Structure 1
Amino acid sequence: MFSSVAYAMGGTGGGSQGGLAAFLPLILMFVVFYFLLIWPQQKKAKAHRQVLANLQKGDNVVTSSGIYGTITGLTDTVVTLEIAEKVRIKVARNAVAGVVKGQV
């Protein structure tokens, strides 16, 4: 008899969590992704833009395709590189991956 009464009462409901508590794991994941993926990528892109802004004639550079050369001419969008004696090529300024220290 008592067992049927106990079943009729049932358990107390867990209640629903607040709206913010339900989204807390998603917010936490976004914060982690920001600090692990987005922030370092933005930092690297900013450093690359700084390198491109500071290019000068005579700098030894490497392109994103792996071509080493010395800058002989610059415009806003094009860099002229001397890759061998009297061999010059034009590449997009954004194709310069970085400045190389020393002689190429």
Structure 2
Amino acid sequence: MLITPAFAQAAAGGDTNSMLMSLLPFALIFVIMYFLILRPQQKKVKEHAELVKNIRRGDTVVTSGGLVGKVTKVVDDDQIEFEISDGVRVRQMRQMISGVRAKGEPAKEKADTAKDETSAS
């Protein structure tokens, strides 16, 4: 017998309060990770899905690859066709659209340069 009865009894008799306290840090880490990472990511995914779903003909879109063009045709639920130059049309998966500008919304750079020119005069 290598283990004395005193050691065997101490190992078998565990306190439930100490076990709960040892699991508490893991639970806190999970709660913190949920609020800092998972919840904002889910919100961002929902916003992107809504943005992609509401693409209409005439909208200006920006793809994840950096192409900017005007939507000429909504092919189906998965694809759109947009024009990046006169006579150059591209088909793109809807999920690869990173941004949509409304028909009348000006580009931010043009608006900023116009403000700079008027303030410089």
TM above 0.5, yes or no, is yes
Q: Go from structure 1 to structure 2 and tell me whether the alpha carbon gap of 1:80 and 1:57 turns closer, same or farther (over 3 Å shift).
A: same
Looking at structure 2, the residues matched to 80 and 70 of structure 1 have their Cα atoms a distance apart, in angstroms, of 9
Counterpart-to-counterpart distance in 2, 1:58 and 1:27: 49
| TM-score between both structures, scaled by the size of structure 1 | 0.79
Output the CA distance in 2 between the equivalents of 1:90 and 1:68: 12
Residue 53 in structure 1 maps to residue 50 in structure 2 = no
1:79 to 2:65 alignment: no
CA deviations on 1:3-33 (whole Å, 9 max, x unpaired) are xxxxxxxxxxxx8443322110000000001
Aligned equivalents of 2:19 and 2:46: distance in 1?
A: 37
* 1:34-66 Cα shifts (integer Å, max 9, x gaps): 111111110000000000111100000100111
| Secondary structure at 1:80 match in 2 | strand
- 5+ long unaligned stretches in structure 2: 1-13, 108-121
- Aligned to 1:91, what secondary structure does the other structure show? strand
Partner in structure 2 of residue 3 of structure 1? none
The correspondence of residues 29-68 of structure 1 with structure 2, limited to 5 A, is 29-68=29-68
State the percentage of identical aligned residues: 39
* C-alpha RMSD of matched pairs (Å): 1.7
SS in 1 for 2:84: strand
Q: How many residues align?
A: 90
1:73–1:80 Cα contact (<8 Å) kept: yes
Higher relative contact order (CA 8 A, sep 6+): 1
* Structure with greater helix share of residues: 2
The two structures have a TM-score, normalised by structure 2, of 0.69
The answer as to 2:100 corresponding to 1:91 is: no
Per the TM alignment, residue 103 of structure 1 is displaced from its structure 2 partner at its CA by 5.5
